[in-house]
Chains A and B, each alone.
Chain A
Amino acid sequence: MDLLEYQGKQLFARHGIPVPDGRPARTVDEAVAAAKEIGFPCAVKAQVKIGGRGKAGGIKIANDEDEARAASDAILGMDIKGFTVHEVWIETAAPQIESEYYASIVFDRGAKAPLIMLSTQGGMDIEEVADSNPDAIATLHVDPLLGFQDFHGRRLAFEAGIDADLVRPVGAFLHQLYGTFIAEEALLVEVNPLIVTPERKVAALDAKVTLDDNALFRHPDNANLRDPSDEDPQEQMAHERGLTYVKLDGDIGILGNGAGLVMSTLDVVAHYGGAPANFLDAGGGSKAEAITSAVEVILSDDKVKAVLFNIFGGITRCDEVANGLIEAFKTLDPKVPFVVRLDGTNDVEGRKILADASLPNVHTAATMDEAAQKVVALAKGEAA
């Protein structure tokens, strides 16, 4: 789960990381009240999970109440690269900045260890720095059982070429950042820019945090930060039903069991010239209700012109899938054709149940390739 900037900053503040004072606001009135509390000048910042806010006009400085009102009125509801702004963050306008650094910790699955990165080239796209001047980024993997040591901070700071008087404070900052990464079970914490003030103090002027969804049961406060309004309606519906669903651009609804098989099904459909409308993994051990529920999610996307079921039963039983599909036809009365391929545990029973039910507009296929070819034809309005 990605956090908004201000949620990340609030998380940082709880771990003692210096961040500018700020307040979140969802309406213009809330924003003006927040600005008066913070004092002027203040920054009004759009809260969206996409980069390039500044260029899009999503960050404005307000010198008085009228300007705060005008700025929040302009930013709230704004569309930034397809993301609607539902919230702004009113923040003490950036103190004078002497330098902009970059600091991050990522869960490096290749190396199987947290990777810390530090650079004096902050304030810009770090991927560009990595391309044009890779030596400007100091990197270090931390042994997860040993944890962060003070010398890690010194080594990174010296290697990044940080001013001598800042080696200790930057090291302390990284130590706190690592503590946050571990304590909150993050997959990414990124600070860009990490600023240096004329008083030679460091602070996080931005915060990008990705948390591990699988660990949220240990962090109920973080779990509450999920904002359903920024999820696609179908994805939200699927999420509530415990299904793994990703919306795509095409017109063929896909349901399968197991992430790999579903990905493969998308590929095979594309291979035969079709365009999948979604990725939907009904999961292992799918019961009839889960299947009915999944069909409802798929059909709630009105672009869908045909649906492909590709099931290979392991834990999942094909007779359960067949019963779920029959139930779905009873309750939802779908108008689009279905192609169903059942293989694996109880496939004979499953196919028999479907044959006996003789559902309207349901086609069967013996292989994945045949199923894909049929559904592609049906989506184009041709005979299967």
Chain B
Amino acid sequence: METIIFYVFAASSVIGALVLVSHKNPVASALSLVLTLFSTAVLFILLLAHFIALIQVLVYAGAIMVLFLFTVMFLNLRDESLRFDAGRVPVKLGILSLLLLISGYFIFIGFKKILPLNNMVISHPEPFGTVEGVGEVLFSDYLLPFELTSVLIVVAILGVVVIAKRRFD
């Protein structure tokens, strides 16, 4: 059962990613990215990361993609401004990517000899990956990085306001 779910959603995430990089309309690309992010959220649930899956759907597939779609529609890109890349595929880059992928796989095989990576764990003890478990770690061991995140958010908000308010003449 888990195998079927994994393959279905892995395939849909790869399809979404391929449509994202090959479609020339940014709106279609954004919607296919939503498909990829949602499929990844399902895989997170398979990996017992329930809280991360929730955050993925709410923040990534929800807020960030709404921001993308809002920008695409706000800019109202005309057809000729979309036509400058019509999804052509440079073969050399494709081959290079494939080689990179294969070499990455062999690096992982090397790592597997060092790390104790035997099998996927189907069931951890209960608070693993839930709001309780992640929150406990987040607010004890990683409290300082969590607090520094708020500084990052404030800087980002101020930066966005400063950048977007600037007027060129």
The answer to whether A and B belong to the same complex is no
- List residues of chain B with CB under 8 Å of any chain A CB: none
